[in-house]
Structure formats: C-alpha cells, structure tokens
Structure 1
Amino acid sequence: MLVRDPAQRATAAELLHHPFLRQAGPPSLLVPLIRQFRDSQSNLYNMYKNQYS
C-alpha cells in the first residue's frame, strides 16, 4: 500500500531486508529482458511506420 507520509515510509535499509528483494536475482538478469523488450518495441514501431508512411 502506498504510504504518502515520508516519515511513515520504510527506509532503504529496511526495504533491502524485505523478502521480495531478498529473493530477487541479480540485476544482470534483467538486462537481456530489457533489451528484448526495447528491440521488440522498436520493431513494432518500424513495422507501423513502414505500413502507414
């Protein structure tokens, strides 16, 4: 849930101990996924541009 009051929010140190982040893989696992998404978006844009230009 969103906590609007900054004084009530968890600190970065507290969040690093959260199970979601403790079980996460290394950030390097995301790089191929981000590249794949970026490439697919670029391909989709180019297909659209070629079809309607």
Structure 2
Amino acid sequence: MVVTSVWYFACWVCRRLKIDDDITMMISSAVFICGVSAAIATAGAIKGDSKNYLM
C-alpha cells in the first residue's frame, strides 16, 4: 500500500508542476521502485523522445 501511495503522490506532484507525461511516468517509477535503474527501464519501455531525457 505504501509503494502504491508513493507512486501516485509522485505522479500527482509531477502533474501539478505540469511536467510532460513521459517524464512524469519515468520519475514516478524511479521514485517508487529503486531509482536510476527504474528510470532507465521505464524510459526504454515508454519509448519517449530521447531529447526530453537529456538534461
């Protein structure tokens, strides 16, 4: 229950900040799973524009 709550909270914060949907999913998954490895896996899974992830 805590893990799901953390994902929804991270998603809600990103949407309040008007962050792109692809990046919102990547950030939410990275926060609730384990960090960088989850972000890399999610970025590959959503097949978003790689220009968005280069910061």
Which TM bucket (shorter chain)?
0.3 to 0.5
User: Structure 2 length as normaliser, TM-score?
Assistant: 0.33
Larger relative contact order (CA 8 Å, sep ≥ 6): 2
